[in-house]
């Protein structure tokens, strides 16, 4: 990693200069929240946006896409050329989620659909100030030195521009005149002061230490039944989560038969059909069982499989759930703490 | 095939040809298939206990255990029960029909650990399909295993899968083969009657520390069979069983086969030891 500086007034010119690296996607306002959208007018980018409703995952594994087409003769791989893309404005929580997804999609078997999109993607991270839903400090995902090609830390009238990869270096070399190579001691002090201020801004105090053991012991807790009574099985919590990669595979046949395509769509472990096997036997019939699966997976499970929990503290599921079941209320409930709504 | 050596898209099935099919009982049919590409047919390697994803364009994919043994390369064999959409379409396939298969997937039986030990194979119903692979493998490599027992239970003589094959095995002197049916209305059944646990009397002299058990059958069978095996003082990690979960990908990505929050059955299973099973939540 290497650090340079860029004046705020130069940012739009910089974004213009890196156009050859692909379509720019960034957070823009939509209703009372933000969405990740393709931007051509840079002034639409919301620099203070914290979380987009749907995370970056939609650009690496879209909600629905064609795996391959088929006809009487057999299958044909898609020859569609995927566009290059630059994702702007990912915060440390999402960059951790991106690292988890990169790892997940290359573990055991490389997922070719993820890989081909990922290989065409550049990532520009952006520093942030937490709001009352962020708990990345509790999940230890509030800083990152990895997962981005470039990362901008906002220090008032300029950004520190961290160069995290060779691709990021290529982007900076498109427009060397826009950056300032000289980082001074004064800048370092500003950076340290900024960190302190940010640290003190975490309002949501969640303690996740020892969560795997608590999950283990609470496996038969009546809490799961209580939550199961409330849960609507709508799947909103999984759709918004940056580390939920589950999918379903569905064949679509064209009218007239003969030709068609195999498609992949986001699926949710909260849907009833998810675990049903032949003959209709469902291993997770009760909603409480499915909730348990999701939260075990987020709080305990990836610790086993990847050495880290799959929850990055982005806070998206807080607020997405119509009945206020989320990682925060579940963790607090399990630990017997009082939950503030 | 692991990430380092993976060249092609693991989701694109390989064209296979149906060579032969015939009924094993009223609703389970035997399917013998071969990769259209002869080189691929011969180089396909797998372990007993692994499964493949069978693909029918326009319908989808489903996992099926391999019933043949890698010690007889070239042809793949499956035993498939007609239960729904996908299996109905597989049953419409005729000899020489082309369809897609990808795999092999899953861990398979820990053959290297079993070698040098005695092996007891206990099968019921459709469990005969994956365990036939292990049995044939052990018989093809007979000198690498100790004593081999087969205990097979079916509801009626007509329902017993691979019965002619097993009848012939009764004559072998390197295998203890015991067959039973719950109920015999024909009056012609020459072997035992009663549930499969009745056959445990035949195992009186096994050496529990040096014996592996491989069990596969309907969920109710596990409970009773495992209880009997434990009575013989067999270590829990030497009791092996295969588990079924819904599977959409077979390669650890779709999430449908997850058990206990993080165990991907398609990668870490479908073969588990009883010790594993005891420590996974929501398993059977
Ligand atoms: C590792 C493994 C090995 C297997 N080995 C064999 C084998 O050797 N022989 C064999 O006959 N079967 C085997 N199975 C089961 C086989 O995969 C299912 O029977 C098959 O998926 C059923 O598909 P279907 O479309 O015919 O049924 P469906 O039409 O999908 O459904 C039949 C019934 O099952 C339910 N169901 C819905 N979706 C699914 C789904 N994706 N999978 C299962 N049930 C569903 C439905 O509610 C319906 O009532 C194995 C499964 C696994 C996981
Ligand atoms: S579980 Fe909730 S807070 Fe954690 S990563 Fe997923 S959406 Fe974000
Ligand atoms: S968002 Fe809430 S109601 Fe919907 S599935 Fe998730 S926990 Fe259940
Ligand atoms: S079958 Fe898709 S993850 Fe196991």
Q: Which domain CATH number covers B158?
A: 3.40.50.80
Angle at B241 between CA A307 and CA A295, to 5 degrees: 35
What would the mean pLDDT of A1-25 be, rounded to a whole number? 95
* Residues B101 and B116 reside in one and the same domain: no
C-alpha dihedral sign at A219, A221, A222, A224: negative
Average pLDDT of every residue of chain A: 85
**DSSP letter string over chain B?**
--GGG--S-TTSPEEEEEEEEEESSSSEEEEEEEESSHHHHHH----TT-EEEEEETTTEEEEEE--S-TTSTT-EEEEEE--SHHHHHHHH--TT-EEEEEEEES----HHHHTTSEEEEEEEGGGHHHHHHHHHHHHHTGGGSS-EEEEEEESSGGG-TTHHHHHHHTT-SS-EEEEEES--SSS---SEES-GGGGGGGGTT--GGGEEEEEES-HHHHHHHHHHHHHTT--GGGEEEE-----SSSSS-S-TTEETTTEEHHHH-SEEEHHHHHTSTT--
* Residues B72 and B126 reside in one and the same domain: no
Q: Do B60 and A251 touch (CB under 8 A)?
A: yes
What is the ipTM, given to two decimal places? Answer: 0.86
Q: Is B277 on the interface with A (CB under 8 A)?
A: no
Structure token pair of residue B178: 């015991």
CA distances from A140 to A92, A135, A207, A313, B37 (A): 10, 9, 10, 8, 51
- Residue ID of nearest Cα to ligand 2 atom 8: A314
Q: Give the lowest-confidence range in A26-35, A69-78, A270-279, B189-198.
A: A270-279
- pTM to 2 decimal places: 0.88
Judged against a pLDDT cut of 90, whether residue A309 lies above it is answered with: no
A-B CB pairs within 8 A amount to 119
Percent of chain B with pLDDT over 70: 95
Q: Do A277 and B11 touch (CB under 8 A)?
A: no
What would the mean pLDDT of A70-96 be, rounded to a whole number? 91
Q: Is B204 on the interface with A (CB under 8 A)?
A: no
Q: What is the pLDDT of residues A227-236, one digit of tens each?
A: 888 888 888 8
* Residues B136 and B208 reside in one and the same domain: yes
The domain limits of chain A are 2-60+68-200, 211-334
Q: Do A247 and B9 touch (CB under 8 A)?
A: no
* Residues B206 and B132 reside in one and the same domain: yes
**Cβ atoms of A237 and A320 closer than 8 Å:** yes
- Cα separation, A306 vs A83, whole angstroms: 31
* Residues B53 and B119 reside in one and the same domain: no
> Is residue B96 included in any domain, yes or no?
yes
Q: Give the lowest-confidence range in A32-41, A216-225, B223-232.
A: A216-225
> Is residue B129 included in any domain, yes or no?
yes
Q: Do B256 and A267 touch (CB under 8 A)?
A: yes
> Is residue B9 included in any domain, yes or no?
no
Total domains present in chain B: 2
A110 → chain B, closest CA residue:
B3
For residue B171, what are the domain limits?
111-242
Residue list, ligand 1 pocket, CB within 6 Å: A 276-280; B 51, 62-65, 78-81, 83-87, 126, 129, 244-247, 270
> Ligand 3 in contact with A232 (CB < 6 A)?
yes
> Ligand 3 in contact with A235 (CB < 6 A)?
yes
Indicate the pLDDT class of residue B36, thresholds 50, 70 and 90.
very high
Which ligand has its closest atom nearest to the C-alpha of A298? 2
Last residue within a domain, chosen from B75, B105, B135: B105
Q: Do B262 and A279 touch (CB under 8 A)?
A: no
pLDDT of residue A279: 45
- Residue ID of nearest Cα to ligand 3 atom 1: A321
What residues of chain A lie within 8 A of the CB of B260, using their CB?
296, 301
* Residues B165 and B216 reside in one and the same domain: yes
CA distance, residue A336 to nearest chain B CA (Å): 22
Could you say which of A215, A247, A260 has the minimum Cβ distance to residue B57?
A260
**In A136-175, which positions are buried (b, 16+ CB within 10 angstroms) versus exposed (e)?**
bbbbebbebeebbbbbbbbbeebbbbbbbbeebeebbeeb
Residue list, ligand 4 pocket, CB within 6 Å: B 247-250, 252-257, 264-266
* Residues B130 and B91 reside in one and the same domain: no
Judged against a pLDDT cut of 50, whether residue B4 lies above it is answered with: no
> Which of B3, B4, B11 to probe by mutation at the A interface, max A CB count within 10 Å?
B11
CATH no. for residue B95?
2.40.30.10
Per-residue DSSP letter, A243: T
């Amino acid at each position: 990693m290497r650090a340079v500086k860029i004046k705020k007034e130069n940012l739009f010119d910089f974004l213009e200069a890196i156009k050859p690296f692909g379509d720019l996607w960034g957070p823009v306002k939509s209703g009372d929240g933000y969405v990740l959208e393709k931007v051509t007018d840079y002034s639409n980018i919301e620099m203070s946006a914290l979380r987009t409703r749907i995370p970056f995952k939609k650009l690496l594994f879209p909600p629905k896409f064609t795996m391959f087409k088929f006809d009487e003769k057999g299958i044909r791989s898609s020859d569609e050329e995927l566009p290059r893309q630059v994702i702007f404005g990912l915060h440390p929580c999402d960059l951790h989620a991106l690292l988890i997804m990169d790892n997940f999609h290359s573990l055991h078997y490389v997922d070719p659909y993820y890989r081909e999109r990922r290989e065409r993607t550049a990532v520009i991270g952006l520093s942030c100030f937490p709001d009352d839903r962020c708990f990345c400090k509790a999940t230890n995902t509030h800083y990152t030195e990895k997962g981005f090609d470039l990362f901008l830390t906002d220090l008032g009238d300029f950004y520190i521009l961290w160069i995290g990869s060779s691709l990021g270096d290529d982007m900076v070399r498109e427009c060397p005149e826009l950056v300032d190579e000289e980082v001074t001691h004064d800048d370092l002090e500003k950076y340290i002061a900024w960190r302190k201020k940010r640290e003190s801004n975490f309002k949501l105090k969640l303690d996740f230490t020892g969560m795997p053991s608590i999950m283990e012991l609470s496996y038969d807790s009546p809490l799961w039944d209580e939550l199961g009574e409330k849960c609507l099985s709508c799947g909103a919590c999984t759709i918004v989560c940056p580390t939920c990669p589950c999918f379903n595979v569905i064949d679509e046949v064209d009218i007239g038969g003969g030709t068609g395509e195999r498609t992949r769509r986001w699926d949710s472990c909260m849907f009833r059909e998810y675990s049903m096997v032949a003959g209709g036997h469902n291993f997770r019939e009760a909603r409480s069982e499915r909730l348990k699966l999701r939260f075990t997976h987020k709080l305990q499970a990836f610790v086993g499989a990847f050495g880290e929990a799959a929850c990055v503290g982005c806070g998206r599921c807080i607020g997405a759930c119509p009945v206020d079941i989320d990682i925060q209320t579940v963790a607090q409930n399990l630990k017997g703490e009082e939950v503030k709504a | 095939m692991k990430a380092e050596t993976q060249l092609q898209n693991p989701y694109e099935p390989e064209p296979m040809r149906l060579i032969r099919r015939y009924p094993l009982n009223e609703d389970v049919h035997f399917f013998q298939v071969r990769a259209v590409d002869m080189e691929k047919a011969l180089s396909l390697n797998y372990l007993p206990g692994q499964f493949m994803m069978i693909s029918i364009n326009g319908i989808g994919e489903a996992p099926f255990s391999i019933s043949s043994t890698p010690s007889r390369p070239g042809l793949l064999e499956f035993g498939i029960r007609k239960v729904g959409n996908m299996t109905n379409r597989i049953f419409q396939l005729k000899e020489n029909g082309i369809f897609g298969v990808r795999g092999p997937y899953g861990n398979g039986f820990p053959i290297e650990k079993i070698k040098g030990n005695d092996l007891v194979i206990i099968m019921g119903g459709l469990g005969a399909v994956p365990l036939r692979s292990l049995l044939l493998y052990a018989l093809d490599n007979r000198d690498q295993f100790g004593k081999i027992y087969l205990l097979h239970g079916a509801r009626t003589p007509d329902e017993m899968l691979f019965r002619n094959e097993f009848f012939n095995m009764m004559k072998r002197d390197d295998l203890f083969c015991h067959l039973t049916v719950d109920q015999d209305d024909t009056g012609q059944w020459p072997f035992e009657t009663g549930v499969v646990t009745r056959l445990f009397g035949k195992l009186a002299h096994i050496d529990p520390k040096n014996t592996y058990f491989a069990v596969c059958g309907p969920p109710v069978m596990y409970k009773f069979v495992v209880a009997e095996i434990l009575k013989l003082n067999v270590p829990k990690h030497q009791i092996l069983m295969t588990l079924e979960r819904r599977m959409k990908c077979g390669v650890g990505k779709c999430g449908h086969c997850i058990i206990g929050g993080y165990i991907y059955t398609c990668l870490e299973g479908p073969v588990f030891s009883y010790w594993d099973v005891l420590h996974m939540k929501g398993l059977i």
